[in-house]
Amino acid sequence: MTSAPSQKRTPTAGWHDPDQVDWYLDRLDGLPPRIAGEDVLREVLPPTPASVLDLGCGDGRLAALVLEARSTVRQVHAVDRSATMLERARERFQAEPRVTVGQWDLAEPIVSLGSFDVIVSGFAIHHLESGRKRDLFSEVAQQLRPGGLFANLEVVASATPELHAEFLAAIGRTADDPEDRLVDVETQAGWMREAGLEQVDCLWRWRGFALLVGRSTVTEPGLG
């Protein structure tokens, strides 16, 4: 049985704060449930994607995962609003010409970023208000190429405050992130379907972590 991470005071200054960013990044490899979710994401990637968009890329962890898992990838665009996180991502990819790292606030529409075979996001979209989440899912559906995949590894709302408290304790947090705007799995899956994504499902869940996946419509030959 995996023991919970030790609980030290949880920084809450915000994602531009280097101390909070370092605290967060230092914990990731010590969270087996999160790694398990990443493993499932790796499994569901399309076999031969060429282009990837990482929304709220942080230090580039998911972008690196996709590059490692799929050798066909020729272009990755990784965006985040935190200058501190972007600095870490640029350090990670300084010798990787396939990756472009740029600043972008997910509160703003992503339609100008282009179209992609895969769009991933890791623990970022839960910071958006519900209305913006719904709009973002619609934009994702528009930006995915036919047959493309959207995979959102996310923090989601627990069914009760007691379960949420148990989740925080299990991941070694002493407080919520003040920027969190958590929504339950079922509601978000419904928004993804309304946006036009298909084969929508929660393919993995552990307490307040979940992997929500949807696919764009495959254009049949001779149509479209």
Domain range for 171 is 32-215
In a domain, 50, yes or no: yes
Number of domains into which the chain is organized:
1
In a domain, 1, yes or no: no
Is residue 1's pLDDT more than 90?
Answer: no
Note the pTM of the prediction, 2 decimals.
0.88
In a domain, 201, yes or no: yes
In a domain, 157, yes or no: yes
Residues 39 and 69: their CA atoms lie apart, in Å, by: 10
For residue 141, name the pLDDT band (cuts at 50, 70, 90).
very high
Q: Kindly report the number of other CB atoms within 10 A of residue 31's CB atom.
A: 18
Q: Six-digit token pair at 126?
A: 């839960």
20's CB contacts (< 8 A; 6+ apart) are 11, 12, 13, 14
43's CB contacts (< 8 A; 6+ apart) are none
166's CB contacts (< 8 A; 6+ apart) are 158, 207
> How far is CA 124 from each of CA 24, 57, 121, 214, rounded to the nearest angstrom?
13, 8, 7, 17
7's CB contacts (< 8 A; 6+ apart) are 169, 172, 173, 174
Which helix (H) or strand (E) is 75 found in, with range?
Answer: strand 75-80
In a domain, 81, yes or no: yes
In a domain, 221, yes or no: no
Average pLDDT over residues 2-12: 56
Strand segments (E) across 109-223: 116-122, 144-155, 198-206, 209-215
The per-residue pLDDT for 221 is 47
The per-residue pLDDT for 223 is 42
In a domain, 66, yes or no: yes
The answer to whether the beta carbons of residues 60 and 52 sit under 8 Å apart is no
Q: What is the CATH number of the domain that holds 182?
A: 3.40.50.150
In a domain, 11, yes or no: no
